[in-house]
Structure 1
C-alpha cells in the first residue's frame, strides 16, 4: 500500500446538540484499503462517516485526505463518493441520467460524460438498462445504479452506509461479491459502515469495531473474529459466553466456578460451538432447545447464569428440563483483557 495515511482522522469529536456522539477518535486508512466500521446502532459509525463526507460538523479534531485538510470543506469540494442505504435515486431520471448527475454538476463535457457513464454502467453490468427508470429495476439493480453514480465521478474515497441492508439474503451475497470485485478492479479506498459481522468479515481488509463513539478494537478480519480483546467485541463476534476470571475462578451472576486449568487471562469467552455437552466438570439445566437444521442450539442454566451451547443435529438430544454435564475447554476459549 503506497500511502498508509491516505485518510487521517485526528482526535475527531462530533456532537448532536449537547450530546457527544464520537469522542477523540483517531484512525488512519491506507490508499486502496477497504475499512469496515462495525458496531451496533448508536455506536457512532454512521456519524463518523457523515463527518468524513462533510455532512456532519466537526466539534474538534481534523479530517485529512491525501494531504488535503477537509475538516471544514463543503461536501461537494471533497472528492468523496457516498452510497446511501436508501440508494437516493432520482425517480424521474433514467439509469443513465442518474449516473450522469454528478458529472453534470461538475460541468463535464457531454461527450466525455456519455463515455464515462457507459463505462460505469458496464462495470456494474447495467449497460443494457441505461434507459430504464428506477421503478422498473430490482433492489439489486438500484443498488448497482447507486454504485455506478458514485464511481463515475472517480472519487478519492468511497463511503458506503449500510448499502446492502435493504436487500434479501441472496441479493446481499451477490452484491457483496460485486463490491469486492469493483474494489479490486478500481483500487479505490472504501469505508464500509455496517452492523453485519458477515459483511465486514467478507469484505474488509481491516475491521474497526466501535462502541459508544470510540474505537473498541481494530484489526484484520481474522484477528477480530478469532482474538477479540474485550467482552464487548467477543459478544459482537459470536462469543456469547463471557466471564471474568478472578483467583482461578470463572465469575458470573454473582457466583463462581473453577476456571479451566492453565487460565492466565482476566477473562474468557466461548462461542456456543465451543461448549462441550454431555461430559465435563460443570452441570446445568436445559432451559431450551432450538433446531437449526445442521445444529441444535441449547440454553443452559448454571450458577454462572445462562450458557449458550451448540451440538450437531445428529447428536443425542437433551430434553428441556433435564440436567446435563458440560465443559468449557480452554482450547476453544478466547482470552480477554477487558471484561467490562
Structure 2
C-alpha cells in the first residue's frame, strides 16, 4: 500500500542560522488521523504550514496522493485547514461561511445548497444556518470552521490547535465530534496540538516532535506506555524522570531489576509507593485533586511527585515519610 502523504528530507527555515525543521521524513496512510504533538517551538505547526502550502521549503519534497505538491500553490493542493482562531467572516451567515469556498470554485447554486446542508447536518448546525458568528458559542463557531473545511472535500484536512480556545467541557465535546466525523467521513487528518490528552483521545498515530525533528512515532499506547526518551516521558506525564549513569540513579542501583544500557528511568506519580520502602523524603507540597492527593517530596534523589488516594491518611508539610520506586511502575528510557 502506497503512502497517501509523504514528506522526504523536508527542511524549513525562517531565515535564522538554525532550521525550524530539518531533514524531516514522515508518511501516513489514507483515512489515518495523525497527531503532531510537542511543546511550542518544536516544529509541528511549521510542518503543517508547509504541507498546507503556506510556507516554502528550503529543501525536500511533499507528496500527496502520488502527486508532488512541494511547489503547488496552496489553493490547488486539495488541502483543508482549520485554524485555532476559527477565521470566520463576521458579516456572513453560517450557511454563507460554509459555502464560501464552493462559491470561489464556481460550484452551482443547487450543488452548494445540497453540500452545505449535508455538512451542516453532519456537525449538528442545520438549525443555525441563518445566524452570524457573533450569535454562536465558541463550540458552535468551531463547528462552522470545521464544516467550511469539510464541505470542499479536501484530500487532507489539517487542524492547528483547533480546540485551544474552548473551555474544558467544550473541548471534550468537540473531541468526540471530531472522532465521529473522522470515522463517518474517512477524512485523512493531521492534528497539531501540545495537549497530550487530545492526541491520545483522537489519533491513530502520534508523532512527538522535538526541536524540528521526530523524537518518537507510534500508537497512542506506545507513546503513553513506552516512551523512548526522557523528553517524551516528561511530556507524557512521567513526572519522575531521572538520568542513569552506569546503570545507577544518583549512585544508587534501582532495587530489584537490571537497567542494562538505559539512559534514563521514569515513574508516574501514581506508581510511587508512599509509607514504605528504602527511600525517605520530606513533604514540601501537597495538592488535593479530588480522588487523589498529590505530594511533592524533597529527597536525596531529587524532587519526587507521588499520589495517594484522598481517603488515605494525609501527610503534612515538613513530614518525613518512606517511599519506594518499584520495578512494576518503572519505564526504562533508551536515550535522553
Deviation track 1:115-142 (CA, whole Å, cap 9, x = no partner) reads 1111110110111111110000010100
How many Å apart are 1:264 and its aligned residue? 2.4
Aligned equivalent of 2:7, options 6, 9, 22:
9
Distance 1:322 1:164 in 2: 41
Alignment of 1:196 with 2:195, yes or no, is: yes
SS at match of 2:20: strand
Residue number in structure 2 paired with 1:124 = 123
1:275 — aligned with what?
A: 272
- Corresponding residue for 2:309? 312
Q: Which runs of 5+ in 2 are unaligned?
A: none
Residue 338 (str. 1) matches residue 335 (str. 2): yes
1:264 is aligned to 259
Residue 311 of structure 2 aligns to a residue whose secondary structure is: coil
Matches within 5 A, 1:1-340: 3-18=1-16, 19-251=18-250, 256-265=251-260, 266=262, 267-339=264-336
Give the Å deviation of 1:217: 0.2
Report how far residue 4 of structure 1 moved. 5.0
Q: TM-score, normalised by structure 1?
A: 0.96
CA deviations 1:134-163 (Å, max 9, x no partner) are 000010100000011000000000000000
2:178 and 2:91 map into 1 onto residues whose CA distance is: 26
Classify 1:150/1:172 alpha carbon distance in 2 versus 1 (closer, same or farther; 3 Å): same
Q: CA deviation at 1:110?
A: 1.1
Q: Distance in 2 between matches of 1:61 and 1:236?
A: 29
Q: Which runs of 5+ in 1 are unaligned?
A: none
Q: Deviations over 1:83-117 (max 9, x none)?
A: 00000000000100000000011111111111111
Q: Secondary structure at the match of 2:103?
A: helix
Mapped contact 1:263–1:330 kept (Cα < 8 A): no
The 2-side partners of 1:328 and 1:286 are apart by 16
Offset, 1:246: 2.9
Question: Quick check: 239-248 or 294-303, which moved more?
Answer: 239-248
- 1:175 positional shift: 0.5
Contact 1:4–1:29 (Cα < 8 Å) also in 2? no
Question: Deviation at 1:260?
Answer: 2.3
| Counterpart Cα distance in 2 of 1:273 and 1:11 | 40
Distance in 2, Cα, partners of 1:311 & 1:41 = 32
TM-score (norm 2): 0.97
Shift, 1:286, TM fit: 1.0
Count of paired positions: 333
| Runs ≥4 residues deviating over 2 A | 244-248
Residues in 1 aligned to 2:103 and 2:307: alpha-carbon distance in whole angstroms: 56
Shift of 1:268: 1.0
Distance of 1:42 and 1:87 partners within structure 2: 22
Contact 1:35–1:191 under 8 Å retained in 2: yes
Counterpart of 1:331 in 2: which secondary structure?
helix
